A and B are shown apart, each in its own frame.
Chain A
Amino acid sequence: MTTRVGVITFPGTLDDRDAATAVTIAGAQAQPIWHKEKSLKQVDAVILPGGFSYGDYMRTGALASLSPIMEAVVEAAKEGMPVLGICNGFQMLCETGLLPGALTRNTGLHFICRPEIIKIESNTTAWTNSFEVGEELLIPVKNGEGCFQVSNEGLAEIEAEGLVVARYQDNPNGSVANIAALRNAQGNVVGIMPHPEHAVDSLVGPSIDGLGFFWSIAGVTI
């Protein structure tokens, strides 16, 4: 059966359409979900897309993490539903506590939009099982607050448990340990700062390297 992936739209979400397109290209079915809804409509997985929900007021992702739908997302995630947070979605996952750490202002202070190379370190998550460990992907970053921060103890735990999903080869924003993507211990929740949904069509993206994330959830074997 075709995998149904919910794509949640918050006020200020920008990349919901891109995420839905990527899901469709990968052979799964995209289900739009409005943030004021309370039910996940029996989807098999959820994407929290990029953007600037609530104008990034207070902290990035902070207000969105209190939206009605997020209660259902957190509950489902704890029960094992695959959840992918991209950029602003990664920030929301940190705000809800589903992932450790926080995303802060880039070290260069500027918003940066350019393709970067990331290297896959974990392929046992719901979102990266179609990749090889060590595979290098060319994927756009576009963030102003993409600098991942975590305490020394938190970092030690992340490294000890192997929770880093991907690292930057040329760190654009000052993230500790070059972390570009992170998972929970179960491997169903992944947060990623670069945008795989912008690398699924070579006419408009720098590569199609992002497709693997969506193939992984669609159950496509290559």
Chain B
Amino acid sequence: MTSGADVVGSKVVLYGSATGGDGIGGVSVLASEVFDESAASARPSVQVGDPFMEKLLIEATLEMARADLIEAIQDLGGAGLSCATSEMASNGTGGMRINLDLVPLRDDSLSPEEILMSESQERMCAIVAPENLDQVLAICDKWDLTATVIGEVTNEDKLRIFWHGELIVEVPARSVAHDGPIYERPFHKPKYQDALQANSASNLPRPTTGAELKQTALKVLSDPNVADKSWITEQYDRYVRGDTVLSAPDDAGVIRVDRIGGRGVAIALDGNARYTYLDPYLGAQLSLCEAYRNVAMSGAKPLAVTNCLNFGSPEDPEVMWQFERAVTGLADAALEFGTPVTGGNVSFYNQTGDQAILPTPVIGVLGVHKEVGQRITRAFQSTDAPVYLVGSTESELDGSLWAKIMHNHLGGMPPKVKFDEEKLLARLMRNLAQFSLAEAAHDLSDGGLLVAIAELIFDSGIGIELELPDDLSVFEYLFSETQARAVLVVKPAAEDAFIKICEQLELGVTRIGRTTEIGLGLAVLGEFEITHDDLAGSLTSPLLG
């Protein structure tokens, strides 16, 4: 379905909740308000959601769509009716007449401006041909939804809105929908940036003995960012409608969309504010790389990108510089991966007084599975199965979780971006899924190898014993955050085939250990051991249910 009103004489049908005074100016006020002492005045701008009404609206809309009864449709989001009518008119003939007196109201005292700007939730606006109107109204009645014809599509060149018999709006719809003002905000590199990037974590004191390494590992695992999130994820329904193939704690969510053919989609969202603060261009790219990698871990082919870009006030030239760098980095990375950015969302003014949040682009990647039954998960059952590290490891500790947790340090340059290696890793995962060679896979991201291994052990209950190569220190192997890496538990009988595929792809892999027995926890040979109970205790301590 489109959002264009292009058949003259079609009716404009508003259905769902009545329009109230809530959410007036929500988008414009909330998006530009600095949250300080005066923020209470923005409270009426917050919309009030009603999931039950939303469910009725979804079901009714799906029923209309299945019966092919609507020409075009749009939900009422930011800027409410004024946005929906102008966008739909603009995407169609350009002409529409609306009578505001017909809009069902929760509050009779609303002015026409307020009716136009209200962001009351759970409302939809559909363009319906006259011959389908009765059926559309009947479906709304079935779901106990109020539906009202508030206007119609015209062949005039303007959007005309009437109230109490008076013409109160007369504008070219295209102008409202597409000719918004374009800001040319000044930006410059923050004064602190060079000193920040020069302040590397490489000179910080490191653990050397096995006992120190163990203590450091337990501390990192008990950080809230690393912790087991099930206290949160168990408060959401993952089973409804029976097509959720993978969900928390797996690297990507996977939904089956075709029960007969087996096709499915994989989705992951990632962001790393510390990397982005150190270098906004690279940070945005690293966030995209991580989401791309997480989707790839399930065996899916990454296809498209979306984003939510969270920054402080763009009126601050230093914040605007972070934004400009992040957007440029994201665009360049999307081009490298051949993954289009299909849409997104920007949230500015995230600050208190002059103190902005760390720049936080959150990047979503969507991928496709030809056959979801081939998906690779994080859970494994085999004991004494080989554990491999894919990708090469360098000493990259700037911006790492280790630097943050152990030294409260944030400085230096984030890890290197490795587009080619990420693409190869994704290809490897698709091959492993197709030939069913991997028992489990987990990407390496913040917290490095230590966190990835600990999560694998925690999810399966089976221990892992590591025997790390000696080209780097054990500390560097465990805590470095080099990109384009993953840990794989390979099916014992498939080890030769696995190595052959890696050689064909010219992908560096290292056997770093084996799975042991249930309850044995983590052993790093020659250095330290952490029992399963201690490991689970650290991971669950921040968010005990």
Q: Which residues of A contact B (CB under 8 A)?
A: 11-12, 14-15, 17-18, 21, 34, 36, 52, 54-57, 108, 110-114, 140, 142, 195, 197-198, 201, 203-205
Interface residue ranges, B against A (CB under 8 Å): 50-53, 55-56, 142-144, 230, 234-245, 256, 372-373, 545
Beta-carbon contact of A113 and B236 below 8 Å = yes
Count, A-B residue pairs, CB within 8 A: 70
State the CA gap A54–B143 with chains docked (Å). 11
Neighbour of B239 across the interface among A52, A111, A195, CB < 8 A: A195
Apart from A11-B55, A18-B239, A204-B245, 7 more pairs, CB < 8 Å: A11-B52, A12-B55, A113-B234, A142-B237, A142-B239, A198-B239, A204-B256
Q: For residue A21, which residues in chain B have a CB less than 8 angstroms away from its CB?
A: 242
Question: Which chain A residues border B52 with CB–CB below 8 Å?
Answer: 11-12, 52, 54-57
Query: In the bound complex, what is the Cα–Cα distance between A11 and B125 (angstroms)?
Result: 21
Q: List 18 A-B contacts (CB under 8 A).
A: A12-B52, A12-B55, A14-B237, A15-B240, A17-B242, A18-B242, A21-B242, A52-B52, A55-B50, A110-B234, A112-B235, A113-B235, A114-B230, A114-B234, A142-B239, A198-B239, A204-B245, A205-B242
Asked if residues B50 and A113 are in contact (CB atoms below 8 Å), the reply is: no
Contact A203 B373 (CB under 8 A): yes
Q: Are A14 and B240 in contact (CB under 8 A)?
A: yes
Is A17 within 8 A of B241, CB to CB? yes
Of chain A, the residue at the smallest CB distance from B55 is A12
Most A CB contacts (10 A, CB to CB) among B55, B142, B144, B545 go to B55
Most buried by A among B51, B53, B234: B234
Residue of B238, B239, B372 contacting most chain A CB atoms (<10 Å): B239
Name the B residues within 8 Å of A114 (CB-CB): 230, 234
Q: A11-B144, A52-B52, A203-B373 are in contact. Are A110 and B242 (CB under 8 A)?
A: no
- Interface hub of A11, A15, A197 (most chain B Cβ within 10 A): A11
Tell whether, in the assembled complex, residue B239 and residue A205 are in contact, meaning their CB atoms are under 8 Å apart.
yes
Question: In the complex the two chains form, is A11's CB within 8 Å of B56's CB?
Answer: yes
When A and B form their complex, which 8 residue pairs have the shortest distance between CB atoms, in order from nearest? A55-B52, A198-B239, A18-B242, A142-B237, A114-B234, A111-B235, A14-B240, A113-B237
Q: Are A204 and B142 in contact (CB under 8 A)?
A: no
- What distance in Å separates the Cβ of A89 from its nearest Cβ neighbour in chain B? 14
Q: Which residue of B lies closest to A19 (CB)?
A: B242
**Nearest CB on B from A192, distance (A):** 15
